[in-house]
Amino acid sequence: MKKLLAFAALTISSACAPLPTPAPGSESVLSYPQWKESGKPVADAEWRKSDRGLGGILVLTNDINAFMRAWKAPAEWDVPAVKSTAEFRRGDTVNVVVLFSGCGHMSLECGANVAFRVTRPDGTLYGETLPLTAWSRSALKPGKVAISDASLGIAITPRDAPGEYTVVATFADSDRERAVVLTRRFRVVE
């Protein structure tokens, strides 16, 4: 049975969210063209990067439905409560989601793709995808953040070794030749 499930069309009614403003204690705040926290630019991290205005954030969640509810219904501070999960148990599904900003030219379409690669705790390949269509429609306005149309589901089975797994997502704006390579780690526990 395949453990990696690529979802090429994550459907949401509102693909873009307004530029968030910081909520007290929020993990990160999204902006354009660089990610910011408390209104100030923050350095790239392995899970949050930007390349000449293209920005990406990699999020792992064990409840995609709760994630989507939080994304669609921002809190009073206008920051969706979309925290990444780092620990999973056998039987869980790791949902891998890419948030992005700054794709394409303002008056043109945005053509973006994302490829996923997952490695086991021993460093061997767990699975990977070919580039999937992440966005193929109008470019986002400055300050808008969207969820990639392509996501990944990893079903943790009883045969999966405990330990730290690594997810790498390469998100590319094919129209403007920019890309961000995003990495998140998660732990499978007994």
Nearest CA among 125, 101, 128 for reference residue 112: 101
> How confident is the model over 131-174, as pLDDT tens digits?
999 999 888 877 788 899 999 999 999 999 999 999 999 999 98
Report the DSSP pairing between strands 132-138 and 109-119: antiparallel
Mean pLDDT over all residues of the chain?
78
Contact yes or no for 108/176 (Cβ under 8 A): no
The Cα 169–Cα 35 span in angstroms is: 18
What pLDDT, on a 0 to 100 scale, did the predictor assign at position 34? 63
What string of DSSP letters covers 23-86? Answer: PTT-S-B--SSS-EETTEE---BTTEEEETTEEEEEEEES-HHHHHHHHHS--TTS----PPP-
* Domains present along the chain, CATH in parentheses: 4-189 (2.60.40.3880)
Q: Which of residues 35 and 26 earns the better pLDDT score?
A: 35
Most confident of 31-40, 100-109, 117-126: 117-126
Strands 163-173, 178-189: pairing is antiparallel
Task: Give residue 81's pLDDT band: very low, low, confident or very high (50, 70, 90).
Answer: low
* CA 177 distance to own-chain centroid: 19
Higher pLDDT pick, 160 / 5: 160
Indicate the pLDDT class of residue 90, thresholds 50, 70 and 90: very high
Comparing C-alpha atoms, which of 74, 133, 66, 135 is closest to residue 100? Answer: 135
Beta pairing, strands 125-128 & 109-119: antiparallel
pLDDT of residue 37: 73
Residue 72's pLDDT band (boundaries 50, 70, 90)?
confident
